[in-house]
Structure 1
Amino acid sequence: MRRLLILRPEPAAGRTAERARALGLDAHVHPLFAPQPMDWAPPVPEDFDALLLTSANGVALAGPALDHYRALPAYGVGATTAQALTQAGFADVTAGTGDGSAIAAQIAADGHRRVLHLAGTTVAPMEAGPLEISRIAVYSMASLPDNPALLDAAAPGSILLIHSPRAGERLSAQMPQAQRATLHIVAISPVALAACGEGWASGNAPAQPRDEEMLALARRLCE
């Protein structure tokens, strides 16, 4: 069986590994980044009519100030982020099924316009449409030191999961060209795939930027 290497930060990497092992995949976690909280000044909730989180890291690392916005309708880019909001005490939570642009369209369709987006320092491009989005960084992704264990784990035929363009760039910087020809990339988006550079045995991105679809592609490579 091919080895599956999950390079996203914890705790999300652990969730992906659990899903992968449930599918019978040989999953191993080698994070390239670690989330770190940031100091931020919370604006008054009365200035907004909706709250947006595009990562469960934002919920976990925003700190006590997140409680100021519990009265607002809250939107999570996916089920995991929405679940984190619910567990944090938000009563009115909507889960998206696509990317940031898709959840922004849902927020607009629900009649909201002034949106507070609590995010990381790096955010994927998002089509705001009619929304007035105020984005505040509440966490950052710190690069971890290059880990020789990743190169050792990347045995010929291994599949590497890339969940962001920045992760693709970090992988491209660490993985020698000579080793790439035997490795397969499954990236969350075409942009993330392009960031990995060239020379890989294969590269694929799902139609929808979801963990489940990435794992489905990985599973097909193992058949």
Structure 2
Amino acid sequence: MSDRRRALVLRPEPGNARTVARLRAAGVEAIALPLFKVRPRAWEVPSVDAFDALLLTSANAVRFAGAGLNRLSHLPVVAVGEATAVVAREAGMRVAVTGQGDAAAAVAAARDFPRLLHLAGREHVAVPGTTRVIVYASEPVALASGALAQAVGQVVLLHSARAAARFAALAADLPRGSITLAAISAKVAAAAGEGWERIVVADAPHDAALVAAVTMLAIDRTRGRGDNAHHE
């Protein structure tokens, strides 16, 4: 970046590695510092005849649902965004609807599939009008002492409100005024609280847009862009 600032990526794997690779390809020095680790959860597959399609609000639902997903793979998929749709297709699933990052909007667009089964994470935003089953969870990762000190003077990427809140809590003793945050949405930015040097918000709620926002800091850090609000 223009003053050699680095970007800290807090999202769990495997997304963390992809974001780091994107940043480095854009010429931004990046550090992987996951705050959570995604783990599968035991779950019971409901009656497949009771549903018209699967609602996927995260690619992790495909990655961590396990063998139970095989019994549902014949159902079409309503994906919250393109990144989730890509992972579903790679798993051999048929994507019928792809949203733009908003679950409620994706459901509204799926009028042909009134009975949706939402394969969700333990921490999730409830989607009205759907049946939910929890198939994975993001567990907090214990960080090495002083690990977050790397954030001072740097840029921290926030992909979720949960990560934003945890980072803010863990960084309570750090000088907020020297840390810039880059959030995937205005809601995520709000979860981090105030007092930071600057907050920039991605133009769209997906990783590519967030990386683009961070890259723009290297081009022009003098404009007052941090207040402009635009997962997957």
The reply to whether TM is greater than 0.5 is yes
CA contact (8 A) 2:23 2:211 kept: yes
1:135 and 2:138 aligned: no
Letter in 1 for 2:180: H
For 1:124, the equivalent position in structure 2 comes to 125
1:86 and 2:82 aligned: no
Select 1:58's aligned residue among 61, 77, 82: 61
1:154 and 2:151 aligned: yes
1:24-79, CA deviations, whole angstroms, 9 ceiling, x for partnerless residues?
11111100000111111110111000111111111111111101112211122222
Q: Aligned to 1:83, what secondary structure does the other structure show?
A: helix
1:188-220, CA deviations, whole angstroms, 9 ceiling, x for partnerless residues?
222211211222101122242111111121112
Q: Aligned to 1:153, what secondary structure does the other structure show?
A: helix
Cα distance, 1:112 vs structure 2: 1.3
Structure 1 206/124 Cα, relative in aligned 2: closer, same or farther at 3 Å? Answer: farther
Q: Aligned to 1:147, what secondary structure does the other structure show?
A: coil
Select 1:186's aligned residue among 182, 185, 188: 182
Q: Aligned to 2:119, what secondary structure does the other structure show?
A: strand
CA contact (8 A) 2:9 2:33 kept: yes
CA contact (8 A) 2:81 2:101 kept: yes
CA contact (8 A) 2:178 2:197 kept: yes
- 4+ runs deviating over 6 angstroms: none
TM-score (norm 2): 0.87
Paired with 1:92 and 1:170, the residues of 2 have a C-alpha distance of: 33
For 1:4, the equivalent position in structure 2 comes to 7
For 1:196, the equivalent position in structure 2 comes to 192
Paired with 1:165 and 1:105, the residues of 2 have a C-alpha distance of: 23
Paired with 1:213 and 1:201, the residues of 2 have a C-alpha distance of: 21
Q: How many residues align?
A: 216
Q: Aligned to 2:70, what secondary structure does the other structure show?
A: helix
1:173 and 2:201 aligned: no
Cα distance, 1:97 vs structure 2: 2.3
Select 1:21's aligned residue among 24, 39, 50: 24
Cα distance, 1:3 vs structure 2: 0.4
CA contact (8 A) 2:79 2:95 kept: no
Alignment RMSD: 1.7
Paired with 1:66 and 1:154, the residues of 2 have a C-alpha distance of: 39
For 1:70, the equivalent position in structure 2 comes to 73
1:146-190, CA deviations, whole angstroms, 9 ceiling, x for partnerless residues?
33353232241x110111111111101111354211110111222
Structure 1 67/33 Cα, relative in aligned 2: closer, same or farther at 3 Å? Answer: same
Of stretches 175-184 and 196-205 in structure 1, the one that deviates more from structure 2 is 175-184
Q: Percent identity?
A: 37
Paired with 2:19 and 2:79, the residues of 1 have a C-alpha distance of: 18
For 1:221, the equivalent position in structure 2 comes to 217
For 2:204, the equivalent position in structure 1 comes to 208
Structure 1 residues without counterparts, runs of 5 or longer: none
TM-score (norm 1): 0.90
Structure 2 residues without counterparts, runs of 5 or longer: 220-232
Paired with 1:20 and 1:204, the residues of 2 have a C-alpha distance of: 16
